Amino acid sequence: MNKAIFLDRDGVLINNLNHYYIWNSDQLEFVEGVFENLQLLQKKGFQLFIVSNQGGISRGLYTKDDVLKLHDEVIATFRKNHIVISEILFCPHHSDKEKCLCRKPEPLMIEKLIAKHNLNPHQSAMIGDSESDMEAAARAGIQGIKILPNKNMIPFITSLLQ
């Protein structure tokens, strides 16, 4: 079984200080230090995954295709920086519009990835900037590491790097 890091997208990888909903490349600005931090996690043997709520789809602000196109750009940028994202899952629903089983704090996205990629939950963690990220981690049986939004995650992940 492999170990993994599950990463929230907005506020952890992508700076969302100026945009609450991010769906196009004009809004794409990576958080300071994210490339170096993910490279360090990879060197420690973690597979990297992104799990993200994208309720703007349900609200009609952007489409699933917009998100997929942005994710292609995110993956390409990470690849140029020698970072492999094994998979990205996102929930297109919004709790104001409908009930679903995939929107964090529900653990379904994490649980699916654990099963699909034969991951060891006892050696895995979720890095997020919200209580819903931490609750999803707890409910999936993995460690949750809460960081400050749009800040370098390194002070929060030092235990993973030892």
What the block records as the tokens of 155 is: 């002070």
Distance CA 50, CA 151 (A): 17
Whether 65 is a known active-site residue: answer: no
Task: Check if the beta carbon of residue 70 is closer than 8 Å to that of residue 23.
Answer: yes
Q: Count CB neighbours of 138 within 10 A.
A: 14
Q: Token pair 């420690």 is at which residue?
A: 44
Q: Of 10, 65, 129, 133, which one is the catalytic site residue?
A: 10
Whether 10 is a known active-site residue: answer: yes
Active site residues: 8, 10
